Amino acid sequence: MSEPEIQDQTLWCTVNGQTVERKVESRLLLSDFIRHELNLTGTHVGCEHGVCGSCTVLVEGKSMRSCLMLAIQAQGLEIHTVESLGKVKHLHPLQESFREHHGLQCGFCTPGFLMTAIDMAQSGKSFTRAEIKEGLSGNLCRCTGYQGIINAVAHYFEQIGILQTQESGDSL
């Protein structure tokens, strides 16, 4: 028996402030749409099972693992990828902080950490260092040992006034 033909569907959404419209297969993952259809390769794909967090983007301002979402589910939604942050010659302050605090080595995990931290920064809450660790705990890094990443995010949160330092032993 031949397999039923999969119909393409028209997807329109906003990515990094630009409206995009494409015909997509209904089974296409959002991560593959972003990387292969839009050539936004800053979004990395590691596990493809929702475990590593490297594919994290913002969907309607909330961090989302783009490997766990179909592209067509983004119909009408606003997506931001790591490319919406800084450029090489004009880094976002969070990216500057990662550079300053050695928050990356190979960089594979970095876009996911950045987008997760941006979601936290935009949440309207403030965070202790322990809460930063907890907030980032769903993202995996094989290189850094995490201290540089935590330091980088804590420094950025301090810069924007959302780092709580009153806990005993909770300092940069």
- For residue 119, what is the DSSP state? H
Q: Does 144 bind ligand FES (CB under 6 A)?
A: yes
Q: Which of 36, 61, 99, 106 binds ligand FES (CB under 6 A)?
A: 106
Binding mask 26-55 for ligand FES (x = CB under 6 A): -------------------xxxx-xxxxxx
Report, in Å, the least distance between residue 33 CB and ligand FES.
13
Q: Does 102 bind ligand FES (CB under 6 A)?
A: no
Q: Does 135 bind ligand FES (CB under 6 A)?
A: no
Report, in Å, the least distance between residue 45 CB and ligand FES.
5
Please report where in the chains the tokens 């850094």 appear, as a residue.
144
Q: Does 160 bind ligand FES (CB under 6 A)?
A: no
Segment contacting ligand FES by CB under 6 A, of 11-19, 72-80, 105-113, 117-125: 105-113
Distance CA 65, CA 110 (A): 14
Of the CA atoms within 13 Å of residue 138, those in its CB half-sphere come to 16
**Which of left, alpha, beta for 121 (phi over 0: left; psi -120 to 50: alpha)?**
alpha
Helix (H/G/I), strand (E/B), else coil: 147: helix
Helix (H) or strand (E) holding 80: strand 78-80
Report, in Å, the least distance between residue 13 CB and ligand FES.
19
Could you tell me the CA-to-CA distances from 78 to 32, 33, 49, 110, 120 in Å, in that order? 17, 14, 23, 21, 17
Report, in Å, the least distance between residue 60 CB and ligand FES.
18
Which residues of the shown chain bind ligand FES in the complex (CB under 6 A)? 45-48, 50-55, 65, 67, 104-109, 141-144
